[in-house]
Copies of this chain bind each other. A is one copy, B any other.
Amino acid sequence: MKKISINENAYPYPMPMVVLGTLVEDRPNFMAVGWVSRVNFQPPMIAVALGKGHYTNGGIHATGAFSVNIPGIDLMAKVDYCGLVSGRDADKSALFTVVRGEKTGAPLIEECPLSMECKLTNVLELPSNELFVGEIVGAYADPNRCSAGKPDITKIRPFTLTMPDNRYWEVGASAGKAWSIGKNLNR
């Protein structure tokens, strides 16, 4: 192998930055999360991995619901703030315009061009984190940031995170069509 061994604390990056919304003691709370993925196709399900000490975790356990909000890059400073300050120490409920999810009551962020409300289905206990899995029971998009009724990444302008260098990145140029460009691979 020509590669060199590096620290095992490695990442499948770049990771999408989202804001998790929960009700904690009846107050909307928001947390910045980069460890998130779709995990089931039908029904649509999503998972987020949160360190065990977070204020958010109690809210998910208590309400059985959470929201996943995709911020545009215009919200980057507010999203970063959500990752710096715990809901235990600061009221983050006024940071965004809050709308309640129609199905779960989870707090959604109006300013985020795409919001999903999730009903908790599974919790996987891991050594230092809890993996919360939820079914997406409602999804809402800003019509001005859709094309043909679907979210358009060039209008949403989400951003990504790399670790351990801890940097945010814009989405770059369109690079090709998936499940397509490999069809004519000359092997």
Residues of B within 8 A of A140 (CB): 1, 3-6
Residues of B within 8 A of A11 (CB): 38
Q: Please determine whether A10 and B47 come into contact, CB atoms closer than 8 angstroms.
A: no
Encode contact with B along A49-78: 1 for CB under 8 Å, 0 otherwise.
101000000000000000010100100111
Among A15, A113, A163, which residue has the most Cβ atoms of chain B within 10 A? A15
**Bound Cα distance A147, B9 (Å):** 16
Residues of B within 8 A of A99 (CB): 1, 3
Chain A stretch 6-22: residues in CB contact (< 8 A) with chain B: 6-16, 18
Select one of B124, B150, B162, B175 contacting A124, CB under 8 A.
Answer: B124
Residues of B within 8 A of A149 (CB): 6
> Can you list 26 A-B pairs with a CB-CB distance of less than 8 A?
A3-B115, A3-B140, A4-B143, A4-B146, A8-B137, A10-B151, A14-B153, A14-B160, A15-B16, A35-B37, A37-B37, A39-B47, A39-B124, A39-B129, A40-B128, A42-B127, A78-B182, A80-B178, A81-B187, A82-B182, A122-B126, A159-B175, A163-B178, A167-B174, A168-B178, A169-B174
